[in-house]
Structure formats: structure tokens, C-alpha cells
Amino acid sequence: QITLRESGPTLVKPTQTLTLTCTFSGFSLKTTGVGVGWIRQPPGEALEWLALIFWDDNERYTPSLKTRLTITKDTSKNQVVLTMTTMDPADTATYYCVHRPNSGSFFDYWGQGTLVTVSS
Amino acid sequence: DIQMTQSPSSLSASVGDKVTITCRASQDISDNLAWYQQKPGKAPKFLLYAPSFLQSGVPSRFSGSGSGTDFTLTISSLQPEDVATYYCQNYYSAPYTFGQGTRLEIK
């Protein structure tokens, strides 16, 4: 079965860079059409899609954060890494790692999420 | 960006009621619409895509319909375990935007 697990710091200071790692199992990021992405949710707010990396190394980013985000993959380790620069308290949120199936850019499996707080 | 607008923002219904949630896209997204259910403190759960195809394991009381700009999620007979916030999502084009959510409670 497909599982995803997020890992990374729970607390970062303003202006620092956040690095989150998604470790997954049950599928391969070499499979045509498959992708892994990141979605965040500030406390009490709606979901916001951030980034997606595809099996063929193509990347997609939400335009409002594009200059601050980088998504990479390591297929040998079954990992996807998201970096977000210049963190701000407004970036406080639960960050989810998600699986994109080969049938479309919806997200059929989610990690449990990791709460990242930005505070000095 | 394609904006997704859900209505209502919240609703309260009785067990056994038929419940309908609407999602409107700011432009034609064909049938590229997905629905998710999020219970308090949990990660969202994928329910349907395209928009009437039910994910394996999702109860058949959930159904979806629509095309173009207007979509609906229907629960045919509300159960206590359906208390949650429901989100629609555009996957026609990036950015893959979500609606603001509809909070469903039991009356």
C-alpha cells in the first residue's frame, strides 16, 4: 500500500530556510505519470497546493511562492524534498506530502502532515 | 489562477438527510474536479475525481456530478461519521487550487 511520511523541523525562525523531506513507499517515482507534491494548511484555514514533481523531473509551483520554493526528488531513496526560503510567521502551517496518480493531478494518498511554526 | 468557490461555507443537517455541496470554478475546467473530506485533526481523504468516480473504499452514499464550471458533491443519507470539512480541487491546470471548504455538522 502507498504511504508517505513528512519529516523536518517543527520550529523555524523568520528569514530561515525550511527543508522538508517526504519519504514514501508502495510506488515508484519512475512510473510514467506519477508525481509527489506538497500542500499546506495554516491553522483553521483552507488547503493550499504548493508544488509538484513528476516522474520525468518536470516541476510545477504555485505562482505566488514560486521564487521561494524548490522541489527535488531522489528516486533511489524514495524521497522528495521541499525547500522554502525566507520563512515568515504567515508560513506557519501543517505541510502535507501527497501522491499524484498517473490519471491526473489530484492527490489520492496523503501523509499525516507536519506542523511547522515560524517564530523567533 | 482558477478560483474555486464552494457553497455553502457551512451547513447543518440531520442524520439521514440528503446533503449537497456546490463548487464553482472561475473558468471551464471540463471534468477535472476532485473532492476531499477532512475530519478534525486529520489529513484530508480523497473521495472522488472526474468528478463522479468514487475512490475505492469510499461509501456509495457519496456521489459527484458536474462539468465545466459547476459541480456538486452529494451525500445521499447523512451519517454521523460524515461530520467533516469538504474541499473541491481543480486539477485542470496548475496551480491546482482548492475551494475554501464547506464545514458539515449534524443538527
Q: Enumerate the residues of chain B whose CB falls inside 8 A of the CB of residue A113.
A: 43
Identify the CA nearest to B21 among candidates B3, B29, B33. B33
Helical segments of B28-97, H only: none
> Within an 8 Å CB–CB cutoff, is residue A22 touching chain B?
no
Which chain B residue's Cα is nearest to A61? B95
DSSP for A25-37? ESS-TTSTT-EEE
* B88 close to B71: Cβ distance less than 8 angstroms: yes
- pLDDT tens over chain B, length 107 residues: 999 999 999 999 999 999 999 999 999 999 999 999 999 999 999 999 999 999 999 999 999 999 999 999 999 999 999 999 999 999 999 999 999 999 999 99
C-alpha distances out from residue A44 to A5, A28, A77, A87, A98, Å: 22, 33, 34, 20, 20
Contacts of B41 (CB under 8 A, 6+ apart): none
Q: Report CA B60 to chain centroid distance, whole Å.
A: 14
